[in-house]
Amino acid sequence: MLKHPVSLLPLLLIILTASAGLSLFIGVSGTELFSYTPELLHKLLIDVRLPRILGAAIVGAGLAAAGCVMQGIFRNPMADPYLLGTSAGGSLGAAFSIVTLGGLLQPVFAFIGSLGSTVLVYFASRRNGRVAVETLLLTGIAVSLLFSAVLSFLIYSAGSNIKQIMFFTMGGFWNVYWNDVLLGLFILGASLVLFIFSRDLNVLSLGEEEAVHLGISTERTKRILLLISAFITAIAVSIAGCIGFVGLIIPHIIRLLTGPDHRILLPASMLAGAVLLVLADTLSRSLPTELPVGIITAVLGAPFFIYLLRRRTKV
């Protein structure tokens, strides 16, 4: 843990700014970029790359914020919005739009699917008015498997649209433009609401009995925070498709540096999540053949998840 955790915030902000600036000029164009006409250069940088970079930063920040809050609520480092069926619901909603409506209102259907699946998992996990994290995770896995089965049927029925569905399920920012950045502002607004609950999260981290004694309505607070986290994740899915493990990796690593105080942990996680996805997207579009960002985060996140499972087993 850092001696002065708050010092991590300006450092991460500098790293994010530098990463975004470099990303603006890095890509498959290489040195040919500066041989373009002013009009073409403006279109490439301002109309294509800049919204893509901003979209990656906003989605990364939102996913990290949602993961940070869920880990704080359940006091479990394995809690993650994508383990609660959110991505499977978003993929199913998007695939339904592509197959039945030719992609019309795809972000809307992805949003409805993501939010709906999270609400379904939450209420299916309730026992006697309470939700245990193990039950929540297992229910999320079960719902994800069910939705994945339906998604497989839609992919089988997709015909010529199969490639569009596959790209969405892998996640990426190749179709992110300024309207998506404007939609992403809802993520930042909802994240601000989460920050307002930082004190409540700190109290919840001490345990539910202590929280009740300190005047916190635990179940009500958990419902509000879960709903906002699901809202953030649903918008992220509707913008960029399914990009997993950001909410798992980033908050856990940042917590090791800042400690459990969510007043610092939450904004630091958001900045680090933004850095991760900006760099991952820059890498994906710098390759000869663009690689979906979801593949890059899965390569990083899957081994990390296994590490957490083994660590919990040893405890």
- Inform me whether the pLDDT recorded for 35 exceeds 70: no
Q: What is the spatial distance between Cα 36 and Cα 281, in angstroms, rounded to a whole number?
A: 23
**Taking the CA of residue 136 as centre, how many other CA atoms within 13 Å lie in the half-sphere pointing to its CB?**
25
Q: How large is the average pLDDT for residues 58-69?
A: 95
For residue 282, which of 293, 273, 271, 272 has the smallest C-alpha distance? Answer: 293
What percentage of the chain reaches a pLDDT higher than 70?
Answer: 94
Mean pLDDT taken over the chain: 86
pLDDT of residue 19: 95
pLDDT, greater one: 78 or 295: 295
| Cα atoms in the 13 Å half-sphere on the side-chain side of 28 | 8
pLDDT at 274 over 90: yes
Q: What is the pLDDT of residues 112-143, one digit of tens each?
A: 988 888 889 888 887 776 767 678 778 888 99
More confident site: 123 or 1: 123
Beta bridge partners of 131: 126
Q: Note the pLDDT of residue 62.
A: 96
pLDDT of residue 130: 72
In percent, the amount of the chain with pLDDT more than 90 equals 34
pLDDT value at residue 267: 97
Predicted local distance difference test score (pLDDT) of residue 276? 96
Class of domain 5-314: mainly alpha
pLDDT of residue 34: 65
What's the number of CA atoms in the CB half-sphere (13 Å) around residue 35? 4
The pLDDT-based confidence of 29 (bands split at 50, 70, 90) is low
Q: Which of 101-105, 147-151, 254-258 has the lowest mean pLDDT?
A: 101-105
**Side chain identity, residue 250:** I
Pair 168, 91: CB distance under 8 Å:
yes
Q: Which of 230, 242, 236, 283 is nearest to 60 (CA)?
A: 236
Confidence of residue 57 (pLDDT cuts 50, 70, 90): very high
Residue 70 has pLDDT above 60, yes or no: yes
Kindly list the domain boundaries of the chain, sorted by start residue: 5-314
pLDDT (tens digit per residue) in 185-240: 999 999 999 999 999 898 887 777 777 777 778 778 888 998 898 889 889 988 99
292 vs 163, residue with greater confidence: 292
Instruction: Name residues whose C-beta falls within 8 Å of residue 219's C-beta, 6 or more positions apart in sequence.
Output: 129, 130
31: Cα within 13 Å, side-chain hemisphere: 0
Q: pLDDT-based confidence at 32, cuts 50/70/90?
A: low
Q: List Cβ neighbours of 182 (8 Å cut-off, separation of 6 or more).
A: none
